[in-house]
Amino acid sequence: MTDDLGVLIVDDDFRVAALHSAIVDAVRGFSVRARAGSIGAARQAIAEHPDIDLALLDVYLPDGSGIELVAELDCDCFIVGAETDASAVRSAMRAGALAYLIKPFDDADLARRLAGYAQYRRMLAGENVDQHAVDAALSALRFGTRAADRAEGGSPTEQRILALFAEGAPLFADDVSREIGIAAPTARRHLANLVAAGRLTMSLQYGTTGRPRQEYRLPRA
């Protein structure tokens, strides 16, 4: 059992589900517990994985609406969909969704929201809170966080990593690991921090076989 916050990805487009999974796994403190392409599969995943803390739900699914599923699931929920109708947003909030992200969005936007959710959880982890803690937790949840409480420039290792991207070329975690001389898991952790802070962006590169690779680059100006 891991101490990471467990996430369920619910989207019937497997490429979108893979992208969201990669973003979740790239953010420190999160891991994907399951993926589902329908409401029925989401219900089964929740039953099989009681350690799911957060579900990322698409709106339009083959067997119903992700918004209607929000009130049913025994976990926190973000709506992550292309529906722009204001009534759908109101319905999602009324059902209990903690956030509503409209596709398409930058990878860093979801990473910041996840980091904000983790901060929200930490701030409300005690038995009692004051109004300041409530306001700060809801602010982190609403606006996300750029790895709050970190120095603006990041750690010395992250400064060295950023310097590798100065020429504008994209890099994979293995490239960073080799150039900096750190272990690949350590490189991925620092890269995740930089994505969450908005200093880098991450996208998936699909090969002919195997799992997609996470490619990192500087944000476009």
Each residue of 64-80: pLDDT tens digit?
999 999 999 999 999 99
Q: Return the axis-axis angle of helices 173-180 and 156-164, rounded to nearest 10°.
A: 110
Place of tokens 């200093």: 199
Instruction: State pLDDT tens for residues 1-13.
Output: 468 999 999 999 9
Write out the two tokens for 197: 């802070």
**What CATH topology corresponds to 156-217?**
Arc Repressor Mutant, subunit A (1.10.10)
The fraction of the chain above a pLDDT of 90, given in percent, is 50
pLDDT of 133 reads 83
Q: Are 170 and 216 in contact (CB under 8 A)?
A: yes
Tell me which CATH homologous superfamily contains domain 5-115: Response regulator (3.40.50.2300)
- DSSP sequence for 112-136: HHHHHHHHHHHHT-SS---HHHHHH
Average pLDDT score over residue span 192-199: 75
C-alpha 112/C-alpha 202 separation (Å) is: 13
pLDDT of 30 reads 93
Write out the two tokens for 148: 């709050």
What is the bridge-based pairing of β-strands 64-65 and 213-217?
Answer: unpaired
Average pLDDT of the chain? 87
pTM over 0.75, yes/no: no
pLDDT of 153 reads 53
* Range list of β-strands (E), 86-195: 99-102, 171-172
Going from N- to C-terminal start, the domains of the chain cover 5-115, 156-217
Q: Has residue 149 got a pLDDT over 50?
A: no
